[in-house]
Each structure stands twice: as structure tokens, then as C-alpha cells.
Structure 1
């Protein structure tokens, strides 16, 4: 039976952070004792939160790096075939980032919010039910969720009330509903881009100033990347969703398995089958499709994977003991409210990647520098490759922060969510300072030469950018930590004006001024460091720092955490 009043509940459920009470209309309301708990910051509290985030962050970092490595390895193989092959592969990869990674990641920002908060709410339900079962006993008597069976759960109106969730094996599992909705919406939105890639992008690349040979080669490379584009969408959706429910190891293991085959596949397609640089794209497509297939097969095709999903999502809180497909799929496509809610969060998430679009625009502009546009474009692409590798580490911490913030808001823990966001930011500051120091201490030609050995002109161009990169990655990492906090809260819309102002009104115009107005597109000026590739990157670095400062202002002064708990509850009342 449910407790008769709040006082009795508080006396008997110290192990629960969430108190459920049944009102006169049989609906369930909740309040979090975290809102009135201890807000003090101690070393023990800090270390516990760091440990929790590292448990999520380290596998996410490793997974992010392993996801990027195949693309970089393929560029490395292309670089071994010649400058034109390297330039075409790098340009095609940049364009695929603009469309594939940015759109998919942007859409999945809604998955981070909705899956994370719904998973947090399911956790709170389970904790409240366990507390009632253990009422009058010590903490050790409260059963562990892994051993918590339907027979031990005294279901009543209060248990079934919050959000009017159905119960039983035929009931849709809320985090799973979010996953299917994300997958469907993403494929519908991205289908036109697949058609564009298949029809060829040469004319577009010519219009933005690329040489005809490079434009044709890059277009062919993109066509071969179409399967990778589809696989990437599925990987991003699965990865984001699994991270939101705490199963961060699955993407890592899938990446390890497929990465081990990537180098042999590159050799096989490039040299054995004689496909040349196109073989790099085919190998990348094989990697992405295989990775998505392995992840899906484990999560939904094995008993162990299905059981982990049930445990990670606290499915027993709604008496669900089997992972199903049709109830969740039907709920995903039949709720207009849910679809609109997802799009309201997802569309701003796409436009938040206007930062990435500006970065890739800089890559395209580098191809118009003189007297050696190939070296400039190759050097800029190497800068981006090193930057992406560094960013993958910061991204792992950001993913952990977004997961913690969204889960805790779903549980109704305002102060804990705020603290999790703070810890995420501090960890990112420490990481990016370390990375910047390493970049400055190591000879500046070292990292570029790993991607393009023997291409001295390209390596020298990239080496000039390393000091700026050390400054850039600090701001880029910290702003991602701020952005992760905003995603955990469901405030993706804030990114739109901030990003467009920082990059398209400040960063890009400054970059263009440095390279083409002040120095006439010349990349060999000796009396001005900020010319050529460096001039372009200086503009985007200023934009990135402005982006970081504006996001930091919003996070520090613009979030009412108690209100975010209430918004999370309202968001889950589908």
C-alpha cells in the first residue's frame, strides 16, 4: 500500500530521493528532497561525482576516438596515393561532416535530453517502489534492482500514476519510445541528402571554388560514402541512446571489433581490388555499416543485451520483464505530441552545428588560397583531423555530463544536476589545458606528419596552425561542456542565436578579412603571421572563444535548476 501522507513517507523511505503521494484525483505528484538538501560542496562529494562521470566518460572518449580513427586512417591511406587524392578525400570528409555528423548529432541532441530524463524518471519510480517494499527495514533489506521481480512489487494506483504510464510487458518503455522516434525522424530528414550524394556533388563543389579535378574526385568519394552515411546515422542514434541509459561500453566494443578490420580492408580495396583512393571510402562504409550492425545485433538480438537494456532503463518499475518492439514503435509514430516535442529539441540542435559548418567553410576557403591551394587545403584538413582527435576526448566528458544532468533532472534532483554540470566543466578545463600544453611542447611538425608523411608542403602548412590549435581546443572543449549542460536541461534553442552570432557574424567575417582582404589570399606573406591558413583559423578561434564565453554566461546565470526539474516532469507527461 502507498503511504498515507508525506510525513509517514519521509519517516519510512530514507533510501528514496523521491516521494510519491496519491492525490484526490488518483494522479501522482512528486517532489525531490534534493531541492531542500545539503548544497555544500565537499571533496568527498566532488570525488564521487567525478568517479561517476569518469565511468561514463572514459568509454565514451575511447568510443569517440575509435569512431574517428577509421576516417583518419582512410585519409592517411589516401595521402599515400598523392596530394590530389589526399585533398579530395579530405574535402569529401569535410562535406560529409557538414551533412552527416552535424545533422545526425544535432537531431540526436533531443535523444540526449528525452532519453536521459525519461530514464531518470524510471529510476526514480523504481527507487520509490523499492523504498515502499523495504519500509520498516534497514537499507540492506531493500532489494537490488537486478533482483527486483514483479512478485515483490506491490502495484497500486500510485505506482501506475505518474505520467499515466501503462504497466506490464505490453506497455511501451519510455526510453525505448524515444529511441525509435529518433531513428524514424532522423532517416526521414536525412534521406534527401543521400539522394544528393548519389546524384553527384561536383557542380556544387565547382560553384564554391574548388578545382575541377578535385571537385570530381571528391564527388566520387562522397558517392562511395553513402553506405557510411546510413551506418553513421544508426551508430549515432544508438550510441547517443545507449549513453543516455548508461550502456556506454557497447559502442566501444563495437568500434574495437570493426577498427581491427579497417586497415586490412583499406589495403584490400585500394591495392588488391585496385580501387585506388575510392577504396578508402568503401572501407570506411564497411566500417560504419558493420559497427551499426554489431551494436544492433547485441542490444536487440541477444538475451544478454536485452536484459541489460531492461535493467539500465529500470523497466521493472512498470512491471516490464521483456524487451518488446511493437508497443514502443507504435507509441513512437502515433503520438503527434511526442514527434513535435522531439523536433522542438532536435531542430535547434541541428542549427547549433553551424559552428561545424563554419569550420568546414574555412576548409573550402583554404582551397582558394594561392599560390598552392592544394597545400593550403591539405594543411587545413590536417588541422581539422588533429582537432577532431583532441575534441573526441572533451566530447567524452561532455557526454558524461549531459547524461548525468538529464538523468538527475528526470529523478527530480535539482542541486545534484547543477553540481554534475559544474564537475563536467572543471574536468574539461583540466583536460584541455593538458592537451594544449602537449601540443605546444611537442615539435609542431610531429602530429601533422603522422597523417601525411612525405608531404612536406602540407605538413609545414599544418605545423603553422599548432599554436592556434592549442588555444582553440581549450575554448572548444569548455563550450562543449557548457553545451552538454544545456542539452541535459533541454535548452538546445539557446545555441542557435549564440552560434550564428559567434561564427557567422564574427568568426567567419574575421577569417575572410585576415586571409583575403588584408593579405589578398596570399599564403606566403612573411611580415604577417595571420595570413593564409593561419589567418582563416584565427577568425574561427575568436568565434570559438566568444561562443564559450556566451555559453558560460547562460549556464552560470541563466538556469533555474528547480524550474528545470519541473520542466523535465512536464516534458515526460506524454
Structure 2
């Protein structure tokens, strides 16, 4: 009898293990179906910005510092608002798809266009007056002048980004973002040779590098419009509708909370770059710090792929009303992302002393990047954790809570520690980065605690109420 009982226990355990492996495999397929195209598209799109930085960096150190200021301060500031406000599209479209309210996705997309375009237009003076703003902030005159010239080139780039970002979130919510991956690969495939022709062959300098960035961005956007309007989203795109103007205020409110959450994350690095601009050797400090930020950003694009997957999976399951599936998906997402983060941590430790050569010929810049490589490695490791939780928050509509956590961890902990270590302890750029890392670690711990105590059964009820309140009949329903 004892042997039979032990045998039944072993068989039961084997069945449970097989069942768990099967569930993990199925969930992983769903995650990678969203995450892989998201990683490819974000990596390629951000890669165009980094490639542009590399070309400008070999033109001159002043232009590299000017580009770094605009890209990490001005563009990151504005894009933080736009990306954050667009994340409301992820929440609404993801939950609508889970609830099979497909036609509402197209309406939510059009509402996001209205809100985001109006927002960007209001923010245009930041680009137009960039040179004066940077001078007021105390940056060197030559760097501020270069930044002002480059900032004007970023205006069309940001308008293209408004539509591109929201379309990607709309497609991602219905698991049709593979087309975005293909278009993003085409984008960078166009961008690299075009940059070489404009900068090296035609000798157009900074203007050539920025023109290539704008042209390649339009390639991506035109392809996305063709895909939506060409009939490949027939269930979710019913054409332009006046219904997009209804319930616009609640969408604005959700967009603002989403924008605040993401802005506080993206502005964190930008403010640290600004602080680096007051170091003794500002040109080297800004250039080296921005190079590391962009390398960190490339890794972060992979993490954003998982952020997007977390958002879609959580939003879809909340829309379906399955709290248990939400909890399981979070566990699989986090495990997968951490494994990838560990891989990049190792690579950065091994090859960290060679990273600076990819972006600059200046020996001081290269050496400073090398000195920051260990801290950069640990930043990459923690980047694999907290973006997943941010994606879960977006999928559930918990952006306001995360915004409060961001304020405490990044702005009350991270930045003050960075300033003290950088200026008082005289660790310079390294001290600023240590402060940034302290903020990221605090953010990771706080979000882990928040996710542990969240009641997903209650979030299912909230998602159901939101979709019910904002529901509008589709044109097909009104004909019957």
C-alpha cells in the first residue's frame, strides 16, 4: 500500500510538473508574440537615434554635446509626455480587445491622436527656443547654439512619433505588431546608408544626419498608415468617426496620469544629463553620460518590449475577467525578463571598456564611458525588472499610483543622492550615475511590493466598469 501511495504521489507530481511546463510554454508564446516584434521595433527605432548620435559624434565634440542635450533633455522631455499619454491607448485598446469590443479600438486610437497632436503643438516653443532655454540653464554658449539648431530638426521627428507610437500600441493590443517590426527594420535599413550618403558622401554635416533621421521616420509612419487604412485591421478600424470626440475628457484624464507616470521615468535620466552639464569639463561629462544613457536606452528598448507584452497580456486578461491568468502571466514575464537582463549584465562587464569607441574619437569621452561601464551593467540588470511592473500598471490602469512611486524613488531619493555624490563627494559623473542607480533600485523594490499587494479580482471589476461606461455601438450594430 505504501509503495502504491508513493507511486500515485510521484505520478501526480509529474502530471503537475508537465501541466506547469505546458502553461508556461503557452504563456511564453503569447508573451513573445507581443514582445519580440515590440523589441525589434523599439530597438530599430531607437537605433536610428543612436546611429544619428554616432554620425554627429564623429563630426565634432560640440555638436555631439548639443545633440546630447536636445535628445536627452528636450526630445526625452516631450517624448516622455507623448509616450506616457499614448500609453492610455494601450490600456483602453488592450482591455477592449480582451472584452471583444474591437470597434472601440479604432475610436480610442483616434482620440489619442487628437490629444497627443494638441499636446505636442503646445510644447513646440521648447524646440523653437531651445538655444535660449539652454543658455538660461547655464550651459556653454557654443553647446547651446548647436543644440538650438538641432532642436528644430527634431520637430517633424516628434510629430511622426505621435502617430507612430499610438499606432504601434493599437496594433500591439490586437497582437498585429509583427508588421511594425518589419517596418522598423526597413526604417533602420534606410537610415544607416542614407546617413552615410548625407554626412560622409555629400558632406552635409549635422543637417544631413538629422535629415536622414526624419526621412527614415516617415518611412515607418507611411507603412503603418498603409497597413491600417488598407484593410488589414477591418475589425478594429471602421474609418474616421465623430465618436472620437465623445468622452474625450475622461481620455484626457487617463492620458495625463499615464503621461505623468512615464514622464517621471524618462525625465529622470534627462535631469541627470542636465546636472552633468555643470561639471568641470561639461563637454566630456555630457557626451560620456549621454553615450551611456543611450547604450542603457538600447537595452531599455528590449525591456520596453516586455513592458508592452505585460501591458497587453494584463489588459487582455482583465478585459476577459480572468484574475488568475493575470497573476500567472506576471510571473512568467518577470522570469523571462530577468534572464535577459542577467545576460546583458555579463556582456557589459566583459566589453564595457570598448563601448566609448563606437560613439566618439575623443579619448577623454572614451575613458569616462569605460569608467561608467560597471554601473551601466547594474543599471541594465535592474532595467529588466521594473519596466515589467510598469507595463502591468499600464495594462491595469494603475498609472497614478506608479507616478507617486516614481516621484519618491527617482526625485526624492535618486537625484539628491546623485547631486551629493557628484558634487559634494567629488565623484563627478560616476556619482551622478550611482544616484540614478539608487533611484532605480528603490523603484524596483517599491513596484515589487505594490504588485504583491494588488487585488487582481478588484482590478477585473474596475476594467469591466470602465469598458461598460465608455462603450459605443459600432456602425455594424446600428444597421440592425
How much has 1:541 moved relative to structure 2?
Answer: 0.5
Q: Does 1:498 align with 2:405?
A: yes
Does structure 2 conserve the Cα–Cα contact (< 8 Å) formed by 1:232 and 1:289?
A: no
Deviation of residue 362 (structure 1)? 0.9
Q: What are the Cα deviations for residues 428-465 of structure 1, in whole angstroms up to 9, with x where unaligned?
A: 111111111111122x222222222x222111111111
Asked if 1:179 corresponds to 2:109, the answer is yes
For residues 338-389 of structure 1, give each alpha carbon's deviation from its aligned partner in whole angstroms, at most 9, with x where no partner exists: 323222322122222212212111111112111x221111110110111011
Aligned to 1:459: 366
Give me the whole-angstrom Cα distance separating, in 2, the residues matched to 1:567 and 1:41: 31
Q: Which residue of 2 aligns with 1:267?
A: 196
Instruction: Give unpaired runs (5+ residues) of structure 1.
Output: 1-37, 124-171, 314-322, 520-530
1:332 aligned residue: 244
Partners in 1 of 2:384 and 2:367 — Cα distance? 26
Aligned to 2:269: 359
Give the 3-state SS of the residue equivalent to 2:47 in structure 1: helix
Q: Which residue of 2 aligns with 1:25?
A: none
Post-superposition shift, 1:41? Answer: 7.6
Identify the residue that residue 457 of structure 2 maps to in structure 1: 562
Aligned to 2:39: 61
Shift in Å at residue 534 of structure 1? 0.6
Instruction: For residue 252 of structure 1, report the CA deviation from its aligned partner.
Output: 1.1
Q: Quick check: 1:396 aligned with 2:325?
A: no
Greater fraction helix: 2
**Residue in 2 aligned with 1:478?**
385
4+ long deviations beyond 6 Å = none
Write out aligned runs for 1:389-428 (5 A). 389-428=298-337
Shift of 1:410: 0.7
Go from structure 1 to structure 2 and tell me whether the alpha carbon gap of 1:395 and 1:41 turns closer, same or farther (over 3 Å shift).
farther
Relative distance call for 1:462 and 1:214 in structure 2 (3 A) is same
CA contact (8 A) 2:45 2:187 kept: no
- Secondary structure of 1:470 counterpart: helix
Separation of aligned partners in 2, 1:378 and 1:210: 13
Q: What is the rounded CA distance, in whole Å, between the counterparts of 1:448 and 1:407 in structure 2?
A: 42
Deviations along 1:206-250, one digit per CA (max 9) or x if unpaired, are 122210000010111010111101011111111111111111112
Match of 2:345 among 436, 441, 460: 436
Query: Structure 1 CA distance, aligned partners of 2:193 and 2:278?
Result: 35
TM-score, normalised relative to structure 2:
0.91
Task: Tell me how many residue pairs correspond in the alignment.
Answer: 452
* TM-aligned CA deviation for residue 278 of structure 1: 2.5
Q: 1:262·1:284 contact (CA, 8 Å) conserved in 2? A: yes
Q: Is 2:157 aligned against 1:245?
A: no
- Counterparts of residues 297-336 of structure 1 (less than 5 Å): 297-300=226-229, 302=230, 306=231, 308-310=232-234, 313=236, 323-326=237-240, 329-333=241-245, 335=246
1:215 is matched with 144
The equivalent position to 1:74 in structure 2, one of 48, 52, 71, is 52
Counterpart-to-counterpart distance in 2, 1:564 and 1:108: 21
Deviation at 1:564, TM superposition (A): 1.2
Q: 1:418 and 1:341 mapped to 2: Cα distance?
A: 28
**Does the CA contact (< 8 Å) of 1:228 and 1:287 recur in 2?**
no
**Shift of residue 476 of structure 1?**
2.3
Residues 41 and 217 of structure 1: is their aligned pair in 2 closer, same or farther, counting only changes over 3 Å?
farther
Deviation at 1:298, TM superposition (A): 2.2
- Give the equivalent residue in structure 2 for 1:446: 354
Q: Give the drift of 1:254.
A: 1.4
Q: Is the 8 A contact 1:104 1:233 kept in 2?
A: yes
CA contact (8 A) 2:310 2:392 kept: yes
Task: Work out the CA distance in 1 between the residues paired with 2:327 and 2:457.
Answer: 10
Distance in structure 2 (CA, Å) of the matches to 1:386 and 1:98: 15
1:41-64 CA-partner distances (Å, limit 9, x unpaired):
812111210121012111111111
Residue by residue over 1:148-175, the C-alpha shift from the partner in whole angstroms, topping out at 9 and shown as x without a partner, is xxxxxxxxxxxxxxxxxxxxxxxx9111
Q: Which residue of 1 aligns with 2:5?
A: none
Question: What value does the CA root-mean-square deviation take over the aligned residues?
Answer: 1.8
Conserved 8 A contact 1:116-1:410: yes
Q: Does 1:549 align with 2:445?
A: yes
For 1:193 and 1:281, the matched residues in 2 are separated by 20
Preserved CA contact (<8 Å) 2:77 2:270: no
Query: C-alpha distance in 2, partners of 1:84/1:437?
Result: 33
- Do the aligned partners of 2:410 and 2:436 also contact (CA within 8 Å) in 1? yes
- Do residues 205 (structure 1) and 205 (structure 2) align? no
CA distance in 1, matches of 2:250, 2:324: 26
Q: Deviation per CA, 1:102-161, whole angstroms, max 9, x where unpaired?
A: 1111001111110000011117xxxxxxxxxxxxxxxxxxxxxxxxxxxxxxxxxxxxxx
State the 1:271 CA deviation. Answer: 4.5
Q: In the TM superposition, what are the counterparts of 1:119-268 in structure 2 within 5 Å? A: 119-122=97-100, 173-197=103-127, 199-268=128-197
Q: Provide the rounded CA distance (Å) in 1 between the counterparts of 2:299 and 2:170.
A: 23
Q: Structure 2: how far apart are the matches of 1:513 and 1:263?
A: 40
Check conservation: 1:225, 1:282, Cα contact below 8 A.
no
